[in-house]
Amino acid sequence: MAASVQGGRTGNLPAEANTFIGRRGELAEISGLLGITRLVTLTGPGGVGKSRLALRAAHAARAGFPGGVWLVELSELRDPDLLTNAVAQATRLTEQTLRPLLEAVGEHLTGAPLLLVLDTCEHVLDECARVVHELLAGVPELRVLATSRQPLGLPGEQLLTVAPLPLGERDDAVALFAARAAAAVPSFALTEANRAGVAAVCARLDGIPLALELAAVRLRGFPLDRLLEGLDSRFDLLVSPARPRLARHQTLRTAIGWSHELCTPLERLLWARLSVFAGGWDVEAAEFVCHGGPLDAEEILALLASLTEKSIVTRDGEAVGTRYRMLDTVRSFGAEWLAGLGEEGPVRRRHRDYFRWIARQGEAEWLGPGQRMWAERLTSEHANLRLAVEECLTSPDPEAALELAGSLWYFWFACGFTEEGRGYLERALDRAPEAGGPDHTLAVWAHRLVTVVPDDLEAAESVSAAYVWLAEERQLLVPALPLTGASLAVRGESARSAVLYGTVGQAPAGDGGAEFFQLLTLALQAYLLAGQAAFERCATVAERLRADCAKRGELWMRAWGDFFVALAGIGLGHADEALLSARAALIAKWRVHDRIGAAAVADLLVAAQATRGEEELAARLLGVSRRLWLTAGLPQLGRPDQTVFHREYERRLRAALGNARFGEAVREGGELDPEAAIALALGGVPTDLDL
């Protein structure tokens, strides 16, 4: 069963922010091209509407792609080497695999027909071409819709050049301007009396959608005739007698520049400084990164509101969860202005330092009641964290990259970004191979931690050894972790794992890393005891782990305590009690975005329900489990037909249900979207249950 088969799920397309206007011909042409070719690229200058057209076309195409329509937004990506990671994350593939990630992505996408939308490819064009070429070669069911200022240059690529909107008084440009003007100024209406004036504004802006939308907002401060006069005078300054018409890209830049001139000096300064963010930001980040000189931190919230009203900045969410972002073309204008001010270096360093502080705060508070908040916050700041790490990697001080990449161990390890974290840690360590000191040791340990998988005993031994160094550097009184024994247990070598198991020590309070290591040691002890079928002892250790985590309000590791309590309960024949613990584990794992953990818990739920006599439900959950393991992308556990667990329960459930009903139930479970799958596994228990 392919992980990309989503049943009723249409993928990850965001809702459209406002009404789509026009482009009927282009939409029909895209639909037709997707039916006869596998790669369609929308090309054209910035601001012409490629991204919005692709999103509308993708929404319209959903019915034809039962495997889902998946949007990969590349505008915030700075490092081409992370493009495959971006595709994996957008398509819900966890990165925890030692196989080449692109190979895992291809396997993940194989199955039902699906559409991959790659938006804004031009700045990572060569890597886009490579990845698309390999995916199309390896996934016959795949179609790709790309947007780029340049073609990808691949065989079979079909190009559609996106032109500005038609300019007649009853054409799309006028309709778009009128719709956006009415949204900005509710009293505005398109009438026969003002239609010619609106058409003149549209003509002056060459029908470029972004320019039209920026100009429409100006009606808040200007009547239509004054708006047209302002455009005329602004554009005349840039038109030479020998060149009476502006090129379209210059038209857009001039429209953005006019919006810039109409901002106050402090709004312009904030616009420029905000250009250093990738993806988006919240108010706290803007206050830290953008304050200084004439711009006080206390003024930034009001200035953000003003820039939002002028459509320079867009706002997502409300109150505490509010985030802001800028369109790429607007951001680029701000970045050029920032460079002209000579502030690019200092503001980028403040951005880097802010996210270094965020990473350290997250590490210190990870094992506490704020864990879910930190998982969500760091996931939302992923693009900015990448940018901060990249900035550290170009810093003259190699310690900066070691410290940031190492202090994010919990993000790489627990939130599903091991492949990316491994790459950053390797680059940081390559820059400072002999650095020594706590930051270097932490980076070494973190690198080896995110490298551990069941197949890699050498890596497990390295993690244990590296932790001894880290404990010495941080003056922690914790024994080496028995990760080698854990790896053997996963592979079914329980006898050898028992020999390599060590005792559990006490760690001093007050250090987030030390607490994590203590809890991880308990989890591994429970793991090894379960592998040896010592279920009563396993339950005792797991209960201690749960209690220690509960004291801290911690979720991620506590869920492993629930997992092992449930596993021991199944081993002891207490299926009803095991079901309750397994569901608690699943809620916690889902809250902190741990898909590996969710897949492991799903296996337990299969066992619990089968033991309780709920064979049909167990078979559907077996389909859910297979889907989750495939999504997680692990090399062994991600192939259900090769695992002892899945073979054994397939045999039992086939015998109970018969081949036909068993196969149908597994298929039903495997085709559920993630939210429906979790709901099935929880049996109606809400995922926001207070644990």
Residue 125 amino acid letter? L
Q: What is the pTM of this model?
A: 0.78
Residue 566 resides in a domain: yes
Please tell me whether residues 308 and 194 are part of one structural domain: no
Residue where a domain terminates, one of 245, 261, 277? 261
Q: Residue 168's pLDDT is what?
A: 86
633 — pLDDT class (breaks 50, 70, 90) = low
Residue 3 resides in a domain: no
176 — pLDDT class (breaks 50, 70, 90) = very high
How far is residue 454's CA from residue 452's CA, in Å, rounded to a whole number? 7
198 — pLDDT class (breaks 50, 70, 90) = very high
255 — pLDDT class (breaks 50, 70, 90) = confident
Q: What is the mean pLDDT of residues 165-181?
A: 93
Each residue's pLDDT tens digit, 295-326: 999 999 999 999 998 889 988 876 567 899 99
- Measured in whole angstroms, the distance separating CA 266 from the mean position of its chain's CA atoms is 33
The CATH code of the domain that includes 66 is 3.40.50.300
Strand partners, 41: 146, 159
Q: Residue 76's pLDDT is what?
A: 87
Task: Report the half-sphere exposure of 293 (CA within 13 A, side-chain side).
Answer: 11
Residue 407 resides in a domain: no
Q: Residue 450's pLDDT is what?
A: 77
Q: What is the mean pLDDT of residues 556-567?
A: 91
Please tell me whether residues 239 and 320 are part of one structural domain: no
Q: Residue 447's pLDDT is what?
A: 83
Q: Which residues of 162-180 are buried (b: 16+ CB within 10 A; e: fewer)?
A: bebbbbeeeebbbbbbbbb
Please tell me whether residues 150 and 184 are part of one structural domain: no
Domain count, the chain: 5
Please tell me whether residues 586 and 677 are part of one structural domain: yes
Q: What element of type H or E holds 326?
A: none
Please tell me whether residues 207 and 321 are part of one structural domain: no
Task: Indicate if the pLDDT at residue 689 is higher than 50.
Answer: no
Please tell me whether residues 662 and 583 are part of one structural domain: yes
In the block, tokens 């931190």 appear at 297
Q: Residue 303's pLDDT is what?
A: 96
Higher-confidence residue: 526 or 504?
526
Please report the DSSP string for 99-157 in residue order.
S-HHHHHHHHH-SS-EEEEEE--GGGHHHHHHHHHHHHHH-TTEEEEEEESS----TT-
**DSSP symbol at 14:** P
Please tell me whether residues 562 and 673 are part of one structural domain: yes
Sheet containing 39-43: order of strands: 69-73, 114-119, 142-148, 39-43, 158-161
Residue 246 resides in a domain: yes
Please tell me whether residues 637 and 689 are part of one structural domain: yes
How far is residue 612's CA from residue 576's CA, in Å, rounded to a whole number? 7
How far is residue 636's CA from residue 630's CA, in Å, rounded to a whole number? 10
Please tell me whether residues 153 and 184 are part of one structural domain: no
Q: Residues with Cβ < 8 Å from 96, sequence gap 6 or more?
A: 416, 418, 419, 453, 596, 632, 633, 634
Task: Indicate if the pLDDT at residue 601 is higher than 80.
Answer: yes
Residue 331 resides in a domain: yes
How far is residue 283's CA from residue 378's CA, in Å, rounded to a whole number? 15
Task: Indicate if the pLDDT at residue 554 is higher than 80.
Answer: yes
How far is residue 525's CA from residue 402's CA, in Å, rounded to a whole number? 30
Residue 228 resides in a domain: yes
Q: 32 lies in which domain range?
A: 24-161
Please tell me whether residues 683 and 562 are part of one structural domain: yes
Each residue's pLDDT tens digit, 637-675: 444 444 556 677 888 899 999 999 999 999 999 888 777
State the average pLDDT for the chain.
82
Q: Residue 471's pLDDT is what?
A: 47
Residue 349 resides in a domain: no
Task: Indicate if the pLDDT at residue 197 is higher than 90.
Answer: yes
Contact 521, 513 (CB under 8 A): no
632 — pLDDT class (breaks 50, 70, 90) = low
Please tell me whether residues 99 and 188 are part of one structural domain: no
Please tell me whether residues 213 and 278 are part of one structural domain: no
Residue 355 resides in a domain: no
Higher-confidence residue: 642 or 514?
514
Task: Indicate if the pLDDT at residue 265 is higher than 60.
Answer: yes
Q: Residue 690's pLDDT is what?
A: 42
Residue where a domain terminates, one of 342, 370, 385? 342
Mode of pairing for the β-strands spanning 323-325 and 314-316: antiparallel
Would you call 335 exposed, middle or buried from its count of C-beta atoms within 10 A (0-12, 13-18, 19+)? Answer: middle
- Count the Cβ atoms, other than its own, within 10 Å of residue 366: 25
How far is residue 451's CA from residue 460's CA, in Å, rounded to a whole number? 8
Each residue's pLDDT tens digit, 390-443: 999 998 888 899 999 999 988 988 887 888 898 999 999 998 877 677 788 888
130 — pLDDT class (breaks 50, 70, 90) = very high
Each residue's pLDDT tens digit, 74-111: 988 888 999 999 999 898 887 666 568 898 899 889 88
Each residue's pLDDT tens digit, 447-459: 877 776 444 444 4
Each residue's pLDDT tens digit, 329-346: 899 899 999 999 999 999
Each residue's pLDDT tens digit, 101-125: 898 899 889 888 999 999 999 999 9
Residue where a domain terminates, one of 261, 277, 295? 261
Q: Residues with Cβ < 8 Å from 226, sequence gap 6 or more?
A: none
Q: What is the mean pLDDT of residues 539-562?
A: 91
Task: Report the half-sphere exposure of 129 (CA within 13 A, side-chain side).
Answer: 13
Pair of tokens at residue 367: 């094992």
